[in-house]
Chain A
Amino acid sequence: QKEVEQNSGPLSVPEGAIASLNCTYSDRGSQSFFWYRQYSGKSPELIMSIYSNGDKEDGRFTAQLNKASQYVSLLIRDSQPSDSATYLCAVPPRSSNTGKLIFGQGTTLQVKP
């Protein structure tokens, strides 16, 4: 089992729809969870972080965390073509105190006008 798993997609949604991106992780003791957005040929850009069970909202983005199920998701409301990118889920392993991140392979989102 990979430490952080994402469906590679592509996930295709129409403009204005809700995009739902999912991530599962294997380390039950993980405490922090990050979502990065990466445009083609560019570097990852942090868009959301979540530390507690439940939902965290920031503009059109909502991160959801369920530690019991080892599941974190990212919802993008009113999806725009500019949201088309790869979304990376990242988790620092409990075994390390360095803050290094373990990334999933990313989910490619395509928002069609």
Chain B
Amino acid sequence: DTGVSQDPRHKITKRGQNVTFRCDPISEHNRLYWYRQTLGQGPEFLTYFQNEAQLEKSRLLSDRFSAERPKGSFSTLEIQRTEQGDSAMYLCASSPGFMINTEAFFGQGTRLTVV
């Protein structure tokens, strides 16, 4: 296990379709984060999991977005009824849970294009 893995790397979908992304964190990391990044901006926090519990969600996360982390391992992010404004890079990050402010490590991201 060499790092955070995300799948797929790229996704093109038609407006109105549903999409699901997967993130496999570093195996010993119990903290998992989803971020969204648009061109020319820094990543924006979407949601946070401590093991299997989703403990924080950003106001950016509309009701079309849902995230899960069953069994505290991999996580999925689903976007329903995609809109063109959802086009972005979706980044997953993980960190060990023994300290609050430890470094987070990012996966390669899933680039979503809604046409």
Contact = CB atoms under 8 A, between A and B. Distances in A.
Nearest to A98: B48
Interface in B72-109: 89, 91, 95, 100-109
A40 B108 CA distance: 12
Interface in B16-38: 31, 33, 35
The SS class assigned to the A binding surface is loop
A10 B31 CA distance: 34
Contacts of B95: 99
A32 interface: yes
Given A31-B101, A43-B91, A49-B103, A98 B50 contact: yes
Most buried by B among A49, A96, A98: A98
B91 A32 contact: no
Most buried by A among B33, B48, B89, B106: B106
B56 A98 contact: yes
Interface string A57-100: 00000000000000000000000000000001010100011111
A99 B102 contact: yes
Interface residues of B, number: 26
Given A43-B107, A43-B108, A105-B40, A99 B100 contact: yes
Contact of B106 (A32, A45, A104): A45
A105 B41 contact: yes
A42 B108 contact: yes
Contacts of A92: 100-101
Contact of A32 (B40, B56, B101, B108): B101
Contacts of B41: 105-106
Interface of A: 4, 8, 31-32, 34, 36, 42-46, 49, 51, 88, 90, 92, 96-106
